[in-house]
Amino acid sequence: MGNPVSCTAVTTTFAELTTMRVGGPIEQLIVATSTEHAVDLLQSIDAAGTPLLVMGGGSNLVVGDVGWDGTVVKMSSPEFSIDGERVTAAAGVNWDHVVSAAVAEGLAGLEPLSGVPGSVGGAPVQNVGAYGTLTSDVLESLTVYDRSTGLVECWPPDRCGFGSHRQSVFKHSERWVILDVTLRLRRGGQSAPVTFPHIAQRLGIEVGGTASPADVREAVLAQRRDRKMVLDPDDHDTWSVGSFFINPVLAEVPPRARDCPTLPDIKGTKLQAAWLIHQAGFDPGYGLDWGNGTVALSTRHTLAVTNRGGATTGDVMKFAGHIRDGVAALFDVRLNPECDLINCSY
């Protein structure tokens, strides 16, 4: 076992490490600079019985103003390789760096996921998807550390529990830590069929047509920028965790929500949270004149709860609860968070 004493330790807050820019102090932050280093750290910290939180890019994480009384391991390994049609990246590698490198190498399959914030390790947790592609569509295998056994294992995708919307066995579980991910892409000059009208329009093609992966990537990035979904430190509309609320999946749709657009799901019927929020009276930009004005919905769409500058986690929770209660009162549907809430709730 390696010696974690040699690692980098600093004092900081979650507001400095997360895309929403809220959250209190961290007792001890340790940056894992390689996969082997990460395993050594996890084994040592668990053996000592110290409270442990593992994080990547902080794009799906909201931590309370009290912070974390224990150790935070930030996955920050640069390990990344392309071998033929296989792309392998450590959990701490920036996700969009992988997409950009794959496209530059003439590989297709990841371009619809361009501009998604966060790190590689977070993609399977959420089964991140955009514009017709899911992480599980291109996932070949993962290397996983099991904190309950201390073992490092290689997992196939069918062990990950994908299926229902944005779900996996990793979500809201502290047992497994993803160490690296291998993706299987394809060589060729064309993307998969483009199924989203806005992307097809930007490309000047019909829905169902194809284009070069590089052109699809640029169209996706342009679309995401228009919707304020590409991180920009100077734009408060991007100070968020992306979609704060998950699309609810219900066994039975309440009568009051019967007009909501739906999609089938293996666990029932999936409702569009954005529609529910909008129809409940919360327009894009709502919140700028509510409360103390530090938290509001994105001015471009209703799923993103944004920090307008100076917000606390308490402000975010109060605002999210206000949106949740408004939707529940009108439609009898409870909205739950898509992001991870640590030491906070609404």
Domain residue extents for the chain:
4-75, 80-226, 236-342
> Is 80-226's fold the same as 236-342's?
no
pLDDT of residue 4: 44
CATH 3.30.465.10 for the 80-226 domain, yes or no: yes
Of 217, 243, 298, 324, catalytic: 243
Of 111, 141, 240, 338, catalytic: 338
pLDDT of residue 166: 78
Whether residue 166 lies in the annotated active site = yes
pLDDT of residue 163: 82
Whether residue 76 lies in the annotated active site = no
Secondary element (H or E) of residue 178: strand 176-184
Phi first, then psi, for residue 133 (nearest 5°) are: -125, 135
> Which residue ranges in the chain fall short of pLDDT 50?
1-10
Whether residue 338 lies in the annotated active site = yes
pLDDT of residue 2: 44
The Cα 221–Cα 202 span in angstroms is 11
Would you say 241 and 62 are in contact if contact means Cβ atoms under 8 Å apart?
Answer: yes
Q: Classify domain 4-75 by CATH number.
A: 3.30.43.10
Helical ranges in 233-344 per DSSP H: 273-279, 313-331
Task: Classify the C-alpha dihedral 336-261-161-157 as positive or negative.
Answer: negative
Q: What single-letter DSSP state applies at residue 123? A: H
pLDDT of residue 27: 96
Cβ neighbours, 10 Å, residue 227: 17
Burial class, 183, CB count within 10 angstroms (exposed 0-12 / middle 13-18 / buried 19+): buried
What is the pTM for the complete model shown? 0.91
Of 21, 166, 202, 224, catalytic: 166
Distances (CA, A) of 338 to 153, 208, 302: 27, 30, 14
pLDDT of residue 189: 86
pLDDT of residue 172: 82
Cα dihedral value 293, 297, 300, 304, nearest 10: 140
Structure confidence by residue, pLDDT tens digits, 164-205: 767 899 988 999 999 999 999 999 889 999 999 999 999 999
Phi first, then psi, for residue 148 (nearest 5°) are: -80, -25
- Which of the four CATH numbers 3.40.1350.10, 1.40.20.10, 3.90.78.10, 3.30.9.10 does domain 236-342 have? 3.90.78.10
135 closest CA partner among 181, 174, 171, 81? 181
